[in-house]
Structure 1
Amino acid sequence: MPAPDVTHYIGDELTLFEKATNWKSYYGNKLKPHLKGRVLEVGAGIGGTTLSLCDGTQADWLCVEPDADLAANIQDLLNSGQLPACCRLHTGLLADLPATDLYNAILYIDVIEHIEHDAAELARAYEHLAPGGVLLIIVPAHQWLFSPFDKAIGHFRRYSRTSLLRVMPPQSKILQASYLDSVGMLASTANKLLLKQSNPTLKQIKFWDTMMVPISRFTDKLLLHNFGKSVLVIAQKS
């Protein structure tokens, strides 16, 4: 089979999920304590995550996005001043960066599942961490939930907590490994078994974000973060 074209993103769901403000706030609260100093965001897409998480207190925030069309959206945000002055854009891959370019935090928000050789990518990211720096990763959970939607947007796989930890750099220290959005998992299950959609509608995204995510903030705690539709891992470089 031909190698996937990593410079062209086949999905069209990014503008929909940009509206998921409650979801971004939920996982953002878990990530923001680590977003200090120099931050690298891999697979920055159209800049929705950057808008949500970058508050301008960072010394540097580099958005890396291989798709030139998506990167153009980030450039527009930079040109219009909607992103803080600390933000920069690199249209390309992590592999393009100099080996000496080190960061205090490296973000992969719903990105690793799009990368065929995930362990190699994370090993490369680990080398770009400054001592004490962290990898911040969120991925979709549970391979049994793999649906036409996953296939349509170029996912190679979904993860369990165990399978994601298996591809983390072995020398990293795992600070957190949790499931998020226990109620949202019901929506994913319904899509897998009943709807079988290749793309959600805006109405569905808004219902999930406004009704399900706030409840998940409560139920996730009750379930000790052992059940959910996404996996969060925070790993530190010694």
Structure 2
Amino acid sequence: MDTTGFSYAGSELELFRSAERWKTYWGSRLGGYVTGRVLEVGAGIGGTTEVLVTGRAIEWVCLEPDPALSDRLRRSVDAGRLPDRCRVVTGTVADLGAEDRFDTVLYIDVLEHIEDDRAELARAAARLEPGGHLIVLAPAHQFLFTAFDREIGHYRRYDRKSLLALEPPGLRMATAFYLDSVGMLASLGNRLLLRSSMPTAGQIRLWDRMMVPLSRGLDPLLRRSLGKTVVAIWTAP
């Protein structure tokens, strides 16, 4: 892919960067699967990297097709905001070298931006070492699709069934679940009543400080069967 003219259309990266409780929550659910050599697809401004890189990763490849964002990631590494085990690559999975293989491949709020999601996951699966994990976290439920989704370049939202239907050949499902049951109710209210195209900073603070802690307590009681975010994790044989 020629990424020279590519520019990410979304405007939500900075807005959601301050959602510390949310990042801590999903990070606690995914961190145990993130090990060894890690490929983060669509690294953006490094928000996911900051959450997960402190675990058992020995090398972290930040793959980002937007040259401006990848340059920003490089500056973060140079400045020490991201550890020096992070290597920034401008491009997509198809642009990686034939020898590049990983123990973990991450798509955190990224797969919904990719038109051919099935082919994308197949390419990612081909990069996994035996026993490695392919991890997808994505917005849940097409009935929650709004103008906000369109504005930031989403092709779709997923549910557990539609996400698991993308399982790459040869992998097996390790787990799949929902997160943020309280946030789902808030999103449904926005979809039906407010219909805002972009959340405000105040709305993000309210959700992160009040709703996410409530979800963190309620989600296990609901067996993580309800939420505005869906997660699927596959393992390579």
Q: Name the amino acid aligned to 2:189.
A: A
CA distance in 2, matches of 1:39, 1:17: 23
Q: Is the 8 Å Cα contact of residues 56 and 86 (structure 1) preserved in structure 2?
A: no
Letter aligned with residue 38 of structure 1: R
Amino acid at match of 2:87: R
Distance in 2 between residues matched to 1:84 and 1:7, nearest whole Å: 26
Q: Which moved more, 1:98-107 or 1:36-45?
A: 98-107
| Deviations 1:191-223, CA, capped at 9 Å, x for gaps | 211121221111111110110011101111111
Q: 1:47 to 1:193 in 2, by over 3 A?
A: same
Question: Can you list the C-alpha shifts for 1:84-111, whole angstroms capped at 9, x where unaligned?
Answer: 1210100111110023211000000000
Which residue does 1:73 correspond to in 2? Answer: 72
Identity of aligned residues (%): 52
Q: CA deviation at 1:79?
A: 1.2
Q: 1:211 to 1:165 in 2, by over 3 A?
A: same
Deviation at 1:120, TM superposition (A): 0.1
- In the superposition, the TM-score normalised over structure 2's length comes to 0.96
Give the residue type in structure 2 aligned to 1:159.
Y
Q: Which residue matches 1:155?
A: 154
Partner of 2:107: 108
Q: Distance in 2 between matches of 1:197 and 1:67?
A: 27
Q: Secondary structure at the match of 2:54?
A: coil
The total of aligned residue pairs comes to 234
Q: Quote the residue 1:181 is aligned against.
A: 180
User: Residues of 1 paired with 2:214 and 2:41: CA distance?
Assistant: 29
Which residues in structure 2 correspond to 1:66-215 (within 5 Å)?
Answer: 66-215=65-214
Deviation at 1:25, TM superposition (A): 0.7
SS at structure 1 position matched to 2:40: strand
Distance across 2 between alignment mates of 1:128 and 1:98: 10
Match of 1:35 in 2: 34
In structure 2, what is the equivalent of residue 23 of structure 1? 22
Contact 1:56 1:85 in 2 (8 A): no
Structural RMSD (CA) = 1.4
1:11 equivalent in structure 2:
10
- Give the aligned partner of residue 216 of structure 1: 215
- Greater CA drift, 65-74 or 102-111: 65-74
Tell me the secondary structure at the aligned position of residue 35 of structure 2. Answer: coil
| Corresponding residue SS for 1:231 | strand
Paired letter, 2:93: L
Runs (5+) with no aligned partner, structure 1: none
What SS class does the counterpart of residue 134 from structure 2 fall into? strand
Alignment pair present for 1:227 and 2:226 = yes
Q: TM-score, normalised by structure 1?
A: 0.95
Aligned mates of 1:201, 1:53 — CA distance in 2: 26
Q: Distance in 2 between matches of 1:57 and 1:85?
A: 15
How far off its partner does 1:8 sit?
1.5
Distance 2:18 2:90 in 1: 24
